[in-house]
C-alpha cells in the first residue's frame, strides 16, 4: 500500500541536550487510522510536531505526499490538519469565525457551507456564534477539531484527543474519526490509552523512550503476541493430573477444582478440541469452561517490560 507519510532517520535533541527521538523510521499508509501508542514522555508530541513543522528535527527526512517538509513547508502543511494536545483557543473569536479564519490561513477560498457541515458534524452548530472562551472544555476540544478540519486536510493528526474528556465525547470523537477515515482521510492519533488504540486503530506503533519499538497491524499484533487461556471448572476434585495430559502443561488449582490451559494463538500447543477429547478419555468431567484472551494492555505492558 502507498505511503502518505515517510519518516526516515528522524532524531530530535532538544536545546537542553535531551534526546527525545532516536532514528525514527515509519511509513503511514494512505487512508489508515494509525495509533501511536506510548507512555507520557515517550516522544509522541515531539514526533507529530516535527511532521507538522512546528518543531525542527535534528536529523532525518519527512515526506508528506512526496513533498519534503523542510523544502515544501507550505504545501505539506496545507495537507495536514492538527488537533494539538493542549487546549488553545482564540478567546474572543466566535466559533464560526475561528473556523473560517483557520481555513483562510491555508489560502483556501471561503466556503461557509463546508464550515457549517464541519460544525454540524461536531455538534457545534448551535454554538456557532458563541465566543470560544464561553465554551466548556469538551466544546473547546470539538472546536479545535473543527478548526483543524476547516481547510479540508487529507491527513489529520490528533494528539491525545481524548485525554481528560468524558465518555460521551470520547465516543463521539471515535465515531467522527471513523467517518473521516471512510471519507478517505488518513488519521494519525497519539494516545496513552490502550483501549483507544484497540478500538480505533488499523495499525499500531508503539513508542517508548524516543524509539519505535514495534509497528504492526492491530489484528496481527493481538494474534502474534496474544495469549489465550481456557479455565475448566471440574465436576470432581482432582488430586493429581494423569500423565497422559502432560503435554498440555495444565495448571491445577490448589483446591483441585479448576484446571487452566494456556495456549498461545500461534498454536504451538495443541488446540482446545484435542484437550477436551483427552480429558474425556481420562474420565475428567467439567461443569463449566471459560476462555480469556489477553488484551492489548497485557501485550503492551509485556513489551515495555521486555525492552527495559
Query: Which parts of this chain interact with ligand ADP (CB under 6 A)?
Result: 14, 16, 18, 20, 38, 40-46
Tell me which of ligand ADP, Mg ion, none is bound by residue 46, counting a contact when its beta carbon lies within the kind-specific cut-off of 5 to 8 angstroms. ligand ADP
Q: In what order do the strands lie in the sheet with 211-217?
A: 80-83, 155-159, 186-191, 33-37, 203-208, 211-217
By beta-carbon proximity to ligand ADP, the closer residue of 20 and 279 is: 20
Helical packing angle, 95-105 and 112-121, nearest 10°: 120
Residue with cell 523510521: 25
How far apart are CB 195 and ligand ADP at their closest, in Å? 17
DSSP letters for 284-305: --EEEEEEEE--HHHHHHHHHH
Reading the block at residue 239, the C-alpha cell is 488430586
Q: Does 208 bind Mg ion (CB under 5 A)?
A: no
The one-character DSSP state at 131 is B
By beta-carbon proximity to ligand ADP, the closer residue of 1 and 15 is: 15
Tell me which of ligand ADP, Mg ion, none is bound by residue 92, counting a contact when its beta carbon lies within the kind-specific cut-off of 5 to 8 angstroms. none
Compute the distance between CA of residue 135 and CA of residue 222 in angstroms, rounded to an integer: 40
Residue of 33, 45, 147, 294 that binds Mg ion (CB under 5 A): 45
Compute the distance between CA of residue 229 and CA of residue 208 in angstroms, rounded to an integer: 28
Q: Which stretch binds Mg ion (CB under 5 A): 10-18, 40-48, 71-79, 172-180?
A: 40-48
By beta-carbon proximity to ligand ADP, the closer residue of 10 and 234 is: 10
Strand 227-234 versus strand 33-37 pairing type: unpaired
Residue with smallest beta-carbon separation from Mg ion: 45
Q: Maximum distance among all alpha carbons in the chain?
A: 79
Give residues 84-123 in contact with Mg ion (rule: CB under 5 A): 85
By beta-carbon proximity to ligand ADP, the closer residue of 43 and 153 is: 43
Q: Does 49 bind Mg ion (CB under 5 A)?
A: no
Give residues 61-90 in contact with Mg ion (rule: CB under 5 A): 85
By beta-carbon proximity to Mg ion, the closer residue of 212 and 275 is: 212
Compute the distance between CA of residue 290 and CA of residue 161 in angstroms, rounded to an integer: 35
By beta-carbon proximity to ligand ADP, the closer residue of 85 and 260 is: 85
Residues that bind Mg ion (CB under 5 A): 44-45, 85
Amino acid at each position: 500500500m502507498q505511503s502518505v507519510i515517510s519518516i526516515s532517520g528522524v532524531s530530535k535533541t532538544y536545546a537542553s541536550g535531551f534526546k527525545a527521538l532516536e532514528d525514527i523510521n515509519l511509513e503511514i499508509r494512505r487512508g489508515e487510522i494509525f495509533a501511536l501508542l506510548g507512555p507520557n514522555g515517550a516522544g509522541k508530541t515531539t514526533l507529530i510536531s516535527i511532521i507538522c513543522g512546528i518543531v525542527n528535527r535534528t536529523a532525518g527526512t519527512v515526506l508528506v505526499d512526496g513533498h519534503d517538509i523542510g523544502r515544501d513547508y507550505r504545501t505539506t502543511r496545507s495537507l495536514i490538519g492538527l488537533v494539538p494536545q493542549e487546549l488553545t483557543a482564540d478567546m474572543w473569536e466566535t466559533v464560526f469565525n475561528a473556523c473560517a479564519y483557520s481555513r483562510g490561513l491555508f489560502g483556501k477560498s471561503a466556503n461557509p457551507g463546508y464550515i457549517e457541515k464541519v460544525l454540524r458534524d461536531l455538534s457545534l452548530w448551535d454554538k456557532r456564534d458563541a465566543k470560544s472562551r464561553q465554551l466548556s472544555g469538551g466544546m473547546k476540544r470539538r472546536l479545535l477539531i473543527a478548526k483543524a478540519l476547516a481547510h479540508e486536510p487529507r491527513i489529520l493528526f490528533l494528539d491525545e484527543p481524548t485525554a481528560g474528556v468524558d465518555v460521551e465525547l470520547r465516543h463521539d470523537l471515535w465515531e467522527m474519526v471513523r467517518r473521516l477515515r471512510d471519507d478517505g482521510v488518513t488519521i494519525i492519533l497519539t494516545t496513552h490509552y490502550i483501549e483507544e488504540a484497540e478500538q480505533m486503530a488499523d495499525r499500531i506503533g508503539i513508542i517508548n523512550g524516543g524509539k519505535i519499538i514495534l509497528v504492526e497491524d492491530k489484528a496481527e499484533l493481538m494474534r502474534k503476541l496474544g495469549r489465550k487461556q481456557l479455565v475448566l471448572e471440574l465436576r470432581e476434585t482432582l488430586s493429581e493430573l494423569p500423565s497422559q495430559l502432560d503435554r498440555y502443561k495444565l495448571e491445577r488449582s490448589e483446591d483441585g477444582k479448576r484446571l487452566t490451559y494456556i495456549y498461545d494463538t500461534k498454536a504451538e500447543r495443541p488446540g482446545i478440541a484435542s484437550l477436551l477429547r483427552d480429558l474425556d478419555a481420562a474420565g475428567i468431567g467439567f461443569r463449566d469452561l471459560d476462555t480469556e484472551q489477553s488484551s492489548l494492555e497485557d501485550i503492551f505492558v509485556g513489551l515495555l517490560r521486555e525492552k527495559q
